[in-house]
Amino acid sequence: MDVSLCVDTGRPWADVAALARAADSAGVHTVYVSDHLLPFAPVGSPADEPVLEAWTTLTALATATERVRIGTLVLGSTLRHPAVVAKMAATLDHVSGGRLVLGLGAGWQPNEHAANGIPLPPVGERLDRFTEALRAVILLLHEGGGSLEGRYVRLMDARCSPRPLQRRLPILVGGSGERRTLRIAATYADAWHAWGEADEFARLSGVLDGHCAAVGRSPDTVRRVTGGVPEDGREELGRYAAAGADEYVLRDLRAEPTSTTLARLQSLIVR
């Protein structure tokens, strides 16, 4: 099973870059960053801790690393137009030498939307919008462009040039909603991610298998990605491997020293 790292963008840039470089040297599969404008807090409460912007950080990490893949876990679709996301992704795939994983999600954090005046629709509408955003991104990245007449997203003979370096830039869908999100992943994703204990991940993976069957897709064409903060290193990997995971993502925590993250990472990748 591949081992990856999700770096906490609440850390100073120097620490983020150092962790990514260490992961690159250690042979980690992917370095991910999350996508938030503010740390989580109840709406109206102070949220003053620093957070680096995801795409700017990821672009800088592309130039600070050489071999490791880079990705978002995940980019919130409420924050950027899908045509802009597709252009960003194609460009960063070139900057990184074809190492990008484009992780996308429907968006969820209420306080960052409220504070910045960004609409956060109800869940049903949000997932409808996310579905159309995925269709637009895939049309632009995988097919080079075209037209789309959706309720929320409209493209008129749009083009994305240059195309990504990767023949098929992988799209990762994040989320654990059993009825809608997992069906969206089964329909559109190259990879699916959800946090959770191994037993719960195995159950959700089975739900995803059912959605794959319903849309006429082989379940083994969707990469399964999960992770957390392990307490027992390789034993934890074994539990998730048995649950059907293809990739385990170690979560970095800003409240802990970077040495703790590196020690956890080493415990996972020792052969």
55 close to 85: Cβ distance less than 8 angstroms:
no
Closest-CA residue to 255 (of 83, 90, 69, 15): 15
**Sign of torsion over alpha carbons 181, 8, 99, 233:** negative
pLDDT in tens, 121-178: 999 999 999 999 999 999 999 999 999 999 999 999 999 999 999 999 999 999 999 9
Write down the pTM of the prediction.
0.96
Contact status, residue 120 vs residue 128, Cβ threshold 8 Å: no
Matching CATH number, 2-269, of 3.20.20.30, 1.10.1380.10, 3.30.70.1150, 3.40.50.12280: 3.20.20.30
CB 6 within 8 A of CB 228: no
Measure the CA–CA gap between 36 and 110, rounded to whole angstroms.
Answer: 11
Cα distances (Å, whole numbers) of residue 194 to 47, 101, 197 = 25, 15, 10
pLDDT 10s digits, 84-133? 999 999 999 999 999 999 999 999 999 999 999 999 999 999 999 999 99
Q: What are the residue ranges spanned by the domains of the chain?
A: 2-269
Q: Give 47-66 pLDDT, tens digit per residue.
A: 889 999 999 999 999 999 99
